[in-house]
Structure 1
Amino acid sequence: MRKLSSPALRQDKDFVASLQKGLDVLTCFGRGAVKLTLSEVARRTGSSPASARRSLHTLLALDYLESDGKRFWVAPRALLVAHAYLASRPIPQLAQPLLDALSERTRQSASLGKLLDDDVIIVARSTARRSLSTGLGIGSRLPAYCSALGRVVLASLSPSDAAQRVRAMRRVPLTPKCLHEADDVIAEVERCRARGWSANNEELELGVRSIAVPVHDRTGAFVGGLSISVRAERMPMGEFRDSLLPVLQKASLRLGEQVYE
């Protein structure tokens, strides 16, 4: 069967728009949006109140949402959607023990991410005992333009595709150190492409540094980005890079040898 791109699939006659709207509603909840009203759901999904109401009613009837009559929130049944991915795809299963070992060895938090729209979504993660304040977990999203993981993933695209994505995405300065102008971000992506790794020095969150490397499977195909993060006060950027980049690169090679997606 010919594999279609996402835009092409959305134009296909078999595309079910109502299912898309329902999934948009289900995934609009998150940190800072734990319980939402109908109007808030409509605003976050860009849908009409009538459309949002139908989706909410359906998800409530199927036990994917709960409600007090005014606000809605995600029910435990929604975990079945995430579990289906985690249980059926090899890379999260293969990455988790490796991330656990990496985190235990370095005493830092490690993540594996893949591109999702203009973000990177965390598909596997191990948090060090000295956890970071970002509160990331599996399913968390990071903006691609200003995260080390994001720049590694963008560097896996062709230069023209990466530049086009960067210029099209919404970019705001999350900290005073955040690179957000298109030309600056594109230059960082190209730097990552040339040297094979990316760094983030308090751009995403003040006090947090991270480095990331690509993971390639045995055929050389890109499968995701692997990152490690540290509190800024624990380690200067130069020491962080020199001591932990080789460890991260070794972990990336090991994971890539096991991936068979």
Structure 2
Amino acid sequence: MTSVKPADRNFVASLQKGLEVLTCFGRQHSRLTVSEVARLTGSSPASARRSLLTLEQLGYLGSDGKRFWMLPRALLVAHAYLASRPTPSMAQPLLDALSERTRESASLGQLLDDDAIVIARSTARRSLSTGLGIGSRLPAYCSAMGRVLLAGLPPGDLPARVHAMRRLPLTPRTIHDAAQVIELVELARAEGYASNAGELEIGVRSMAVPVHDRQGQVVNAMSIAVRVERMDMAEFREAFLPMLKRARDTLEARLFPA
């Protein structure tokens, strides 16, 4: 987990610790002890315990006295973002239409620390189910969405950013060598899209394209995924890349009208 360093005396360190505790829960960490939370957040057990008990009293966490888990009140934080920002609401009908036409899952994400975080998603009836949802994080170094977002960084910043990442082989096909990752990101910058085949999950291919603001800066990435048995990469690219780009173009026009 990335810790933010205090900028000035107005920085509230206890709030930082509480938010780090709240966001350390996930699919693989659904019920956590104090010591587990301390390890995941890099804090002391005493600090983790205080944050956990405070969040429990506020109704964000439940507990049996040993383990803690998220309660529905935590959804208020995510809802506040989704309801107050235009991008997810404008993207959702476009993702729904794309997913309906292709019968595959479509997502929108943005760069968060070393990950691409999903901020909007649509899954068609016959689409694969990979457990992704709004708020899911995909490692930027080995996801199509992440590589597109990394391609939006200033070229001079890319090497240091990639070398500083924790890059693990998530599957036997994961490309995690820093030089190879940088090469793929630069290719994505040149070609205007990135692809992925089995690097995050065996049997799944994905493609992503960048979403630009009025100044041409990359602000988001839109992606689509398919099971490998449905089509090979060449067929996937030919069939779905034009539709993905059209959906992206429409979103850019709505978000940043001329």
TM-score after normalising by structure 1: 0.95
Structure 2 Cα separation of the partners of residues 119 and 220 of structure 1: 21
CA contact (8 A) 1:217 1:257 kept: no
Q: How many matched pairs?
A: 256
Q: CA deviation at 1:174?
A: 1.1
Q: 1:33 aligned to 2:29?
A: yes
User: Over the residues paired in the alignment, what is the CA RMSD in angstroms?
Assistant: 1.6
Q: Taking structure 1 as reference, are residues 120 and 8 closer, same or farther at Cα in structure 2, changes over 3 Å only?
A: closer
**5+ long unaligned stretches in structure 2:** none
Structure-1 residue corresponding to 2:150? 154
Q: CA deviation at 1:220?
A: 2.4
Structure-1 residue corresponding to 2:132? 136
User: Is the deviation greater in 7-16 or in 205-214?
Assistant: 7-16
Q: CA deviation at 1:8?
A: 8.7
Query: 1:9-20 maps to which residues of 2 (within 5 A)?
Result: 10-20=6-16
Q: CA deviation at 1:221?
A: 3.0
CA contact (8 A) 2:121 2:134 kept: yes
Q: Taking structure 1 as reference, are residues 260 and 80 closer, same or farther at Cα in structure 2, changes over 3 Å only?
A: farther
CA contact (8 A) 1:217 1:256 kept: yes
Candidates 218, 224, 233, aligned match of 1:228: 224
Question: In the TM superposition, what whole-angstrom CA distance separates every residue of 1:89-125 from its partner, at most 9, and x where no partner exists?
Answer: 0000100011000000111100000001110100000
User: Is the deviation greater in 155-164 or in 250-259?
Assistant: 155-164
Q: 1:258 aligned to 2:254?
A: yes
Question: In the TM superposition, what whole-angstrom CA distance separates every residue of 1:127-166 from its partner, at most 9, and x where no partner exists?
Answer: 1212324210000000000000000000000112122111
CA contact (8 A) 1:217 1:258 kept: no
Q: Taking structure 1 as reference, are residues 260 and 65 closer, same or farther at Cα in structure 2, changes over 3 Å only?
A: farther
User: Stretches of 4+ moved more than 4 A in 1?
Assistant: 6-9
CA contact (8 A) 2:152 2:217 kept: no
Structure-2 residue corresponding to 1:203? 199
**5+ long unaligned stretches in structure 1:** 1-5
Structure 2 Cα separation of the partners of residues 12 and 231 of structure 1: 49
Q: Taking structure 1 as reference, are residues 8 and 53 closer, same or farther at Cα in structure 2, changes over 3 Å only?
A: closer
Query: 1:68-79 maps to which residues of 2 (within 5 A)?
Result: 68-79=64-75
Query: 1:36-75 maps to which residues of 2 (within 5 A)?
Result: 36-75=32-71
